Amino acid sequence: MLFAEHGFDAVSMRDITALAKVNLASVNYHFGSKRALLAEVVGSRAHLLVEERLRLLSALRRDKNGRPKLEDVIEAFLRPSLEMSRQPGGADHMRLRARLGVERVGESKAQFEQIFDASNEKIIDALAEALPDHPRAEIYWGFHCLLGIQNYTMANSGRIQHLSRGACDPTDVEATLARIVPFVANGFRALKRKRAAPRPRR
Amino acid sequence: MLFAEHGFDAVSMRDITALAKVNLASVNYHFGSKRALLAEVVGSRAHLLVEERLRLLSALRRDKNGRPKLEDVIEAFLRPSLEMSRQPGGADHMRLRARLGVERVGESKAQFEQIFDASNEKIIDALAEALPDHPRAEIYWGFHCLLGIQNYTMANSGRIQHLSRGACDPTDVEATLARIVPFVANGFRALKRKRAAPRPRR
DNA sequence: TTCTTGTTCAAACGATCGTTTGAATTTAAA
DNA sequence: TTTAAATTCAAACGATCGTTTGAACAAGAA
């Protein structure tokens, strides 16, 4: 998909219509504008992804104290994102989301990001349950790191493939999950109870 | 800086010249093209950043086995990136890099990424020294995670500020380093010796 | 001082852009 | 079957784009 490859602004309606063999005016008739086309393209898949996340979340196993396992929470968050690459057009959707992910939240993006707000909060809640000794603020930091890893993985820029000469391939869903999940889980554990942590402020 | 805010293609030369109060034709005269202007803007700072990284790397303390401390290596990588926000225009540069970071490696980007190739390899070498029991392939995975976190942090999209209602601020350099460095270090340790790790392939 | 080189500038070029227009065609409803 | 609504289409609109042009000005060299 062209938006994913080149970014919204670099791709013209004529590029799109030529590739899709549809008429320029028809696209405008049906979607109203280029911007609305993007919202449709992105929004429909995002809703599906959120549903799958919430499904995995509600199916989490709990220990006798009612706590989910940290690794399971992280996987519930990541797996729907990564597995999207297995659907038709899914890899492109992921890359488009990665582009949007590094943009500043603004009017054009607010609608899109809101799709994830509620489910993100639920993931953070589950993380907090799995890490009862961690203050909420630390959970947010860990989540920031998790978002960064997810976003970069979805972008699939080719960077780490290049650096590792192919030894490391983020498009391999299972291999990627097998690395990121423990990485992030252990990362979260490093954040625990840092009440005495120095916080110099400039 | 407009490129950072809106992306290369969404920003016109007229936007730039209006903001900078320079003449449109003069910019073309001096830089040759819009694309070359971008390369100049990005490249000069990137070289400075690489130099600082290499300086920190060569100054790493070593234990009696000659090994650097993992946390120190990670900080040597991250600090120059994050501290750039303290320089004039630095925050914009970071955000522009984050945009470029999620783009596919291609002609327009190859020149830029090569600036980091050699220093990235040196960081990975230092990581491998700090983690002598880890196979190189696992180090690359960890580095992928580190790149993702760096890129997202530089993007400063406002996402985690929004989710955490301000409790988590990636523009606070010291607070961010104090979280990311231990997070990543512990994440790397979770990857150790996974020779028996299942690697199902689709 | 004159000549050469470098720089700035307003205007223009040729191209592309998202969107609109109105006719023609297709589909749905009565 | 006729009418109404929906859809498609080629052409065009008004705007913007990166780049170029050539004159004017400034700076450097002889």
Residues of A in contact with B140 (CB under 8 A): 160, 163-164, 167-168
Cβ distance of B124 and A163 shorter than 8 Å? yes
pLDDT in tens, B179-188: 999 999 999 9
In chain A, what residues touch B5 (CB-CB under 8 Å)?
104
Q: Mind telling me how many Å the CA of A63 is from chain B's nearest CA?
A: 22
Which two tokens mark A71?
Answer: 């690794």
Q: For an interface test with A, which of B157, B162, B193 has the most A Cβ atoms less than 10 Å from its Cβ?
A: B157
* Minimum-distance nucleotide, CA of B26 to C1': C8
Of residues A127 and B194, which shows the higher confidence score?
Answer: A127
Q: Which chain B residue has the Cα nearest residue A123?
A: B163
Q: How confident is the model at residue A99 (pLDDT cuts 50, 70, 90)?
A: confident
Q: Do B105 and A150 touch (CB under 8 A)?
A: no
Interface size, chain A vs chain B, as Cβ–Cβ contacts under 8 Å:
221
Contact yes or no for A136/A188 (Cβ under 8 A): no
Thinking of the domain B2-10+33-190, which architecture would CATH place it in? Orthogonal Bundle (1.10)
Which helix or strand (DSSP H or E) is residue A54 part of? helix A34-58
Contact A186 B184 (CB under 8 A): no
- Predicted local confidence at residue B9, as pLDDT: 81
Nearest nucleotide (CA of A13 to C1'): C18
Q: What is the pLDDT of residues B44-103, one digit of tens each?
A: 889 999 999 999 999 999 999 999 999 999 999 999 999 998 887 788 888 888 888 888
Query: What confidence category does residue A201 fall into, taking pLDDT thresholds of 50, 70 and 90?
Result: very low
What residues in A contact B179, CB-CB < 8 Å? 138, 141-142, 144-145, 191
The answer to whether strand D lies under 7 Å from the CB of residue A23 is yes
A125-139, B56-70, B90-104, B161-175: segment of lowest average pLDDT: B90-104
Query: In sequence order, what are the residues at sequence separation of 6 or more whose Cβ sits closer than 8 angstroms to the Cβ of residue A201?
Result: B172, B174, B175
DSSP A87-152: STTHHHHHHHHHHHHTSPP-HHHHHHHHHHHHHHHHHHHHHHHH-TTS-HHHHHHHHHHHHHHHHH
d(CA A185, CA B157): 24
What is the average per-residue pLDDT within A119-145? 96
- pLDDT at position B42: 85
Task: Find the Å distance, CA of residue B45 to C1' of nucleotide D17.
Answer: 28
SS3 at position B197: coil
Nearest of B124, B137, B168, B119 to residue A147 by alpha carbon: B168
CA neighbor of A199 nearest in space, from A106, A137, A111: A137
What six digits make up the tokens of B17?
Answer: 């010249």
B60 touches chain A (CB under 8 A): no
Closest CA to A146 of A105, A187, A103, A93: A187
Q: Which residue has the tokens 């090569």?
A: B114
Q: Please identify which residue in the block is written with the tokens 């969404």.
A: B10
Residue A2, CB, strand C, below 7 Å: no
User: Percent of chain A at pLDDT above 70?
Assistant: 92
Nearest to A186 among B175, B186, B201 (CB): B186
Q: Which positions 133-152 of A are in contact with B (Cβ < 8 Å)?
A: 136-138, 140-145, 147-152
CATH class assigned to A48-190: mainly alpha
Instruction: Name the nucleotide with the smallest C1'–CA separation from A27.
Output: D8
CB contact A35 to B (< 8 Å): no
Question: Please, which pLDDT band fits residue A107 given cuts at 50, 70 and 90?
Answer: low
- Whether the CB of B36 is less than 7 Å away from nucleic strand C comes out as no
pLDDT of residue B41: 84
B95 closest CA partner among B149, B9, B156, B21 = B156
Q: Which chain A residues contact residue B159 at CB under 8 A?
A: 101, 105, 113, 144, 147
Report which of residues 14-33 in chain B place their beta carbon less than 7 angstroms from any atom of strand D.
Answer: 14-15, 24-25, 28, 33
pLDDT tens digits along A53-85 = 999 999 999 999 999 999 999 999 999 999 998
pLDDT at B29: 92
pLDDT in tens, A147-198: 999 999 999 988 999 999 999 999 999 999 999 999 999 999 999 675 554 4
Mean pLDDT, all residues of chain A: 88
